[in-house]
Structures are given as structure tokens and as C-alpha cells.
């Protein structure tokens, strides 16, 4: 994988995660098969009714682009084992449903057609495959039960074969997002029975195969190998990480479509998460779970629209920006791009804003949202412990023009 791919990943900063599959019909959680211990026969009712007749991937791509998102990652297969493409290795795919048509090709065309990056999420767990051994996370697991011997090497062959299908059918991909390894995961104080990791997935062999087919693709860190980027999930790292990283977050606490969910994050909170990620040299992958008809629900669209309104004015403090060498005060986040320092003020100060260590370094200051100049007072650093001070600040994000810092 080349440095240009890494730079491109960094420049993009903001992406759309999409969790979509049979669980959208259950409309209560993408783990519904496991949480309700549904048998294959009970879960089959969703397969037999999966027909997203309103599916319009260009509408998805338009909503993402307007929100300021620059790439996307779609669940090609989630833990239930259902494949959104017409896989030659299983009948448990979209071609067997009433919908009948490949969903992934049109998706890739729509997002690529707008210049957005494209990646696939692929679940390492598979609660439908007959050779995936029943473990502590499997829907068929009961504490203390006994389970038929299954051949995990056959499942790994299947896994490798499906990844090869995804890498060879849809052109060059930007990322492959595996999920997840749990060889030594402790759950409620006990190691998960039959946990799986790089030994079961044959991760090293898989990565070699992937690099051979698409050398430039970026891999995440969930094959129980370091990967090219790490994936903090549903939390914001307290400080920059030593690796390339991308935080993934939901809009409302559920990855899959959840009809009755009411714990929505506000657009303001999500924008602060995005700013916080970029201020620490990270990306934000924000998730939408489309419904059973193939649409983003109205609340998701409204949230993306509000984020997009902010990004229209502030996008240049996000795209291509990263951390700054200057230390922001507690209630601010700094993002920097070249000689522009962006001061994102999270809790608005009562009249004055004191930015330490910037005295004598700021030539000009303006609000980013309307380009209006901001009056500042930057005395000789020796007389005011290096602060630059702003008075009677209106609401908005400050853009401070700094002289290019010597390398």
C-alpha cells in the first residue's frame, strides 16, 4: 500500500459507514439473530421478504457528499452471513431474495461516480455458514451446551474466497474493514467460549492474498493483526494515536436500522466528534442504517443535512487538516492545514478568548463562517505570558492565519 493512499485517507477525514442487510427488516438491532437466539428457520422470514424496492444508491451518495463525507464503507456481509452481492460460494445472498439483483455494483458506481472513496466491511463471524463453529457469541449457543464439530478451516477457505470475490469484481477499493477478532476476548469476566482470531481466520495468509490482488488497499486492525489503520469504536481517543486511525460512531446507538430508537446524537455533538477526531489526526466514520425499503430514515437525512450545512462553511478546517503543534485551551480544539490554524470553540467564552503561546505569531484573524475580521490583542509575549486575546467574540469558528512554521 502506497503513501499516496495513506495521504488520501487522511485528506478525506470524514466517511459514511452503512450497515444494511436482512436485519433492517427486523428493525431492532443488527445482532437480532443472536440477541433473540433465532434459528436459521426463524430468521429465514427476513430472507424471504428482502426486497428494497426504493433502493437508490445515488440518493445515498448525494446525501453523503452534501454532508461533506468523502468516502464510504458498506457492510457487504454482516454477522448473519447474508451477502449483498451475488456470491458464487453461497446461496445465502441477495440473488436468492425477492430483490434478486446485486446491490453492491450500483452502490460502488454511485459513490465512485461522485468521486467518493469506496470500501467494504466484511464480517469474520458468520452465523449462517454450516462450517462456522458455534461459539459463545453464536445464536445457537447455550451455556454448558454441546455442539456438533465443525471444520473452521473450511469456513476460512470460504472467507478467503469471498474476500477474493469482493476484491476482483468491483475494481480498486480504498479500504477493507474486517470485523472482528475475539480469540482472547473476556465477556462478563469469562473468556468467550470458542473465541476466534488470526489462527482461525488464517489472517496472515489472507493479508498476503489481499496485498497480491490489490496492493494499495488499506486494511483495518480487526484481523488480530496491526493493519493499516486502527478503529476506535463509539469513543473518541483522548489524544492523537501513534497510528493512522478512524473512529466509527452511530447516529443513534444502533448500527443497523432501529425503528423505535430515540437516543439520537445531536448534529452539534457529531460535528464536535468530527472536529475532535481531526484535531487528533484521525478520521470519523459516521454510520447510517438504511431501512428495509432501501432508504435512509428522515431523522438520519436531517442530521446529515445539518452537518452538511456546517461543513459547507467549515469544511476547509476538516478536509486535509490535522493536529496542530499549538496546545489548545480546554474548551477548544485546534485543527491546522498549512499556515491556517482553526480554533474550534466548543464552549463559548464569556467575552474573552485567551489562546496561550500564540502571541506574536498571529498576523490576522477571522471568523470562518462569514470571513469577518476578528479584533485581537496580542501584546509583546514577554508581558502577557504569550497569550493572544480576542474580545466580544460572536459565535463561529475562528481562522487564525499563522506564519508558516519552520520545519
For residues 23 and 60, which CB has a smaller minimum distance to ligand FHN in the complex? 23
Strands 186-187 and 14-18: unpaired
The footprint of ligand FHN on residues 255-314 (CB under 6 A) is: 255
For residues 285 and 362, which CB has a smaller minimum distance to ligand FHN in the complex? 285
For residues 166 and 400, which CB has a smaller minimum distance to ligand FHN in the complex? 166
For residues 31 and 132, which CB has a smaller minimum distance to ligand FHN in the complex? 31
The footprint of ligand FHN on residues 231-260 (CB under 6 A) is: 233, 248, 255
Q: How far is the CB of 61 from ligand FHN (least distance, A)?
A: 21
Q: How far is the CB of 278 from ligand FHN (least distance, A)?
A: 20
For residues 5 and 29, which CB has a smaller minimum distance to ligand FHN in the complex? 29
Q: How far is the CB of 123 from ligand FHN (least distance, A)?
A: 7
For residues 29 and 337, which CB has a smaller minimum distance to ligand FHN in the complex? 29
Size of site (CB under 6 A) for ligand FHN: 7
With CB under 6 A as the contact rule, the residue among 15, 22, 25, 30 that binds ligand FHN is: 30
With CB under 6 A as the contact rule, the residue among 126, 179, 224, 297 that binds ligand FHN is: 179
Which residue of the chain is nearest ligand FHN when measured via CB? 255
Q: How far is the CB of 229 from ligand FHN (least distance, A)?
A: 13
With CB under 6 A as the contact rule, the residue among 14, 43, 46, 180 that binds ligand FHN is: 180
Q: How far is the CB of 251 from ligand FHN (least distance, A)?
A: 13
Q: How far is the CB of 254 from ligand FHN (least distance, A)?
A: 9
Q: How far is the CB of 386 from ligand FHN (least distance, A)?
A: 42
User: In the structure grid, which three cell numbers stand for residue 310, read together?
Assistant: 456546517
Residues contributing to the site for ligand FHN (CB under 6 A): 30-31, 179-180, 233, 248, 255
Amino acid at each position: 500500500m502506497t503513501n499516496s493512499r495513506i495521504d488520501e485517507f487522511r485528506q478525506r477525514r470524514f466517511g459514511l459507514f452503512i450497515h444494511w442487510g436482512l436485519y433492517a427488516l427486523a428493525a431492532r438491532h443488527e445482532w437480532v439473530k443472536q440477541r433473540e437466539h433465532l434459528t436459521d428457520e426463524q430468521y429465514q422470514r427476513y430472507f424471504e421478504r428482502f426486497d428494497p424496492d426504493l433502493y437508490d444508491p445515488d440518493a445515498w451518495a448525494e446525501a453523503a457528499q452534501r454532508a461533506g463525507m468523502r468516502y464510504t464503507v458498506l457492510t457487504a456481509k454482516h454477522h448473519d452471513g447474508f451477502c449483498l452481492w451475488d456470491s458464487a460460494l453461497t446461496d445465502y445472498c441477495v440473488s436468492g431474495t425477492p430483490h434478486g439483483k446485486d446491490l453492491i455494483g450500483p452502490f460502488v458506481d454511485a459513490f465512485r461516480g461522485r468521486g467518493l472513496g469506496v470500501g467494504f466491511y466484511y464480517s469474520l463471524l458468520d452465523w449462517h455458514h454450516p462450517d462456522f463453529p458455534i461459539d459463545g457469541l453464536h445464536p445457537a449457543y447455550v451455556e454448558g451446551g454441546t455442539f456438533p464439530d465443525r471444520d473452521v478451516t473450511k469456513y476460512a477457505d470460504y472467507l478467503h474466497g469471498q474476500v477474493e470475490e469482493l476484491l476482483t469484481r468491483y475494481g480498486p477499493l480504498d479500504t477493507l474493514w474486517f470485523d472482528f477478532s475475539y480469540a482472547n476476548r473476556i465477556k462478563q469476566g469469562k473468556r468467550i467460549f470458542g473465541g476466534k482470531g488470526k489462527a482461525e481466520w488464517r489472517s496472515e495468509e489472507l493479508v498476503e492474498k489481499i496485498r497480491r490482488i490489490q496492493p494499495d488497499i488499506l486494511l483495518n486492525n480487526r484481523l488480530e493483526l496491526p493493519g493499516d489503520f486502527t478503529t476506535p469504536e463509539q469513543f473518541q481517543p483522548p489524544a492523537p494515536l501513534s497510528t493512522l486511525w478512524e473512529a466509527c460512531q452511530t447516529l443513534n446507538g444502533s448500527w443497523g436500522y432501529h425503528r423505535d430508537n430515540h437516543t439520537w446524537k445531536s448534529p452539534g455533538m457529531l460535528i464536535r466528534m468530527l472536529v475532535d477526531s481531526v484535531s487528533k489526526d484521525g478520521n470519523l466514520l459516521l454510520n447510517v442504517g438504511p431501512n428495509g425499503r432501501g432508504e435512509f430514515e428522515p431523522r438520519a437525512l436531517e442530521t446529515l443535512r445539518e452537518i452538511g450545512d456546517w461543513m459547507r462553511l467549515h469544511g476547509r478546517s476538516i478536509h486535509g487538516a490535522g493536529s496542530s503543534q499549538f496546545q489548545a485551551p480546554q474548551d477548544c480544539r485546534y485543527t491546522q492545514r498549512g499556515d491556517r490554524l482553526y480554533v474550534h470553540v466548543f464552549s463559548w467564552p464569556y467575552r474573552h478568548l485567551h489562546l496561550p503561546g500564540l502571541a506574536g505569531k498571529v498576523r490576522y484573524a477571522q471568523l470562518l463562517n462569514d470571513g469577518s475580521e476578528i479584533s485581537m490583542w496580542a501584546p509583546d509575549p514577554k508581558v502577557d505570558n504569550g497569550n493572544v486575546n480576542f474580545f466580544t467574540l460572536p459565535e463561529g469558528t475562528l481562522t487564525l492565519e499563522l506564519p508558516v512554521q519552520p520545519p
